[in-house]
Structures are given as structure tokens and as C-alpha cells.
């Protein structure tokens, strides 16, 4: 998008956007693979057992049904956190890379990225493979793309 609309300060905004995208990728990698929580998950389990969920909405419903039994902040953190974690990816891809200005390309890369993250977490035992995380992360990517589209339309209207 930054290459399709001419405005004052475009180069600065583009540079800042690339920098923020790299910071996002770095922070996401740390949180998803190297954080103290992930290491506690890895070393707190029996190494012979790895967890996974291939049933759509099973984990989501488990969290929703447990709201009366566990702290609501845990439910919100897990569900909203999985959504929010991929909002920046859905936003930055079309913003920075012309090939991802189409919804389906961005959506497919978000799904592929989530699938890769879930698979790596499962393989390295720093998390479980959960299809619900794939669903929630994809929703986050869609929201990010929607935010991009809104801003893009506003800038197009402003540029006219």
C-alpha cells in the first residue's frame, strides 16, 4: 500500500513500518518459542507425551465452559491473545508487500504461518498443536487485514 499512494513523509513511514514489522516478528518469535512460559511448558511435561488437538472449537469451548471455574483473565488471555498475536501480520503483509494486498493471499500466508508455528511448537515441545489456535490466529490475521483495508481506503480518500 505504501507504494500505491503518494503522500508527504511516505519514505519515512515505509521505513518505520518495515522496522516495526521486524520488531513484531522478533517479539512473536520470543513469545511463541523462547519465553520463560514456553520453556516451563517444555520442561514441566513428561517428554514422552506431546499434546495436540485436531477437533475444531474443542479448546475454545473448553475455555468458554470453564469461565465459572477458572479466572476469567486466563480465558481472555488465551482466546484474545491468540487472536491479537496475528493481527499485526494481517496488517503488515498488505501494507509492506504489494503481492499481499489481496485478501486471499494474506489469509493463506497467515494460515501457513500459524500452521508452521503450531507445528514447530509441537515438534520442539514448547506448546501443543491446537487447531483452535490456528482458527484464532487466522481470525487475528483477518482482523489485521480489515484494519489495513480501512486505513487504505481512508488514505485513498484523503489523497484525492
For residue 2, being part of any structural domain is answered with: no
Render each residue's pLDDT in the chain as its tens digit; 160 residues. Answer: 666 666 677 788 889 999 999 999 999 999 998 877 665 554 555 554 558 899 999 999 998 888 778 888 888 888 999 999 999 999 999 999 999 999 999 999 999 999 999 999 999 888 889 999 999 999 999 999 999 999 989 888 876 6
Q: Which domain holds residue 99?
A: 10-159
The pTM score is: 0.87
H or E element at residue 69? none
- Res 54: pLDDT: 94
Dihedral (CA of 143, 147, 148, 150) sign? positive
For residue 91, being part of any structural domain is answered with: yes
CB environment 25-55: b (16+ within 10 A), e (fewer): eeebeeebbeeeebeebeeeeeeeeeeebee
How far apart are alpha carbons 9 and 31 in whole angstroms? 32
For residue 88, being part of any structural domain is answered with: yes
User: For the chain, how many structural domains are there in total?
Assistant: 1
For residue 60, being part of any structural domain is answered with: yes
H or E element at residue 52? strand 52-53
* 3-state SS, residue 129: strand
Amino acid at each position: 500500500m505504501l507504494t500505491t499512494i503518494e503522500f508527504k513523509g511516505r519514505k519515512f513511514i515505509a521505513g518505520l513500518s518495515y522496522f516495526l514489522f521486524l520488531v513484531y516478528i522478533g517479539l512473536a518469535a520470543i513469545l511463541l518459542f523462547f519465553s520463560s512460559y514456553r520453556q516451563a511448558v517444555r520442561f514441566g511435561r513428561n517428554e514422552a507425551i506431546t499434546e495436540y488437538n485436531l477437533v475444531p472449537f474443542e479448546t475454545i469451548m473448553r475455555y468458554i465452559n470453564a469461565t465459572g471455574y477458572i479466572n476469567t483473565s486466563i480465558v481472555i488471555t488465551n482466546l484474545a491473545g491468540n487472536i491479537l498475536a496475528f493481527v499485526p501480520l494481517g496488517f503488515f503483509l498488505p501494507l509492506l508487500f504489494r503481492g499481499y494486498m489481496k485478501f486471499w493471499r494474506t489469509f493463506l500466508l497467515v494460515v501457513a504461518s500459524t500452521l508452521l508455528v503450531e507445528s514447530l511448537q509441537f515438534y520442539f515441545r514448547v506448546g501443543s498443536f491446537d487447531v483452535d489456535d490456528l482458527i484464532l490466529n487466522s481470525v487475528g490475521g483477518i482482523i489485521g487485514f480489515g484494519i489495513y483495508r480501512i486505513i487504505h481506503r481512508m488514505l485513498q480518500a484523503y489523497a484525492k
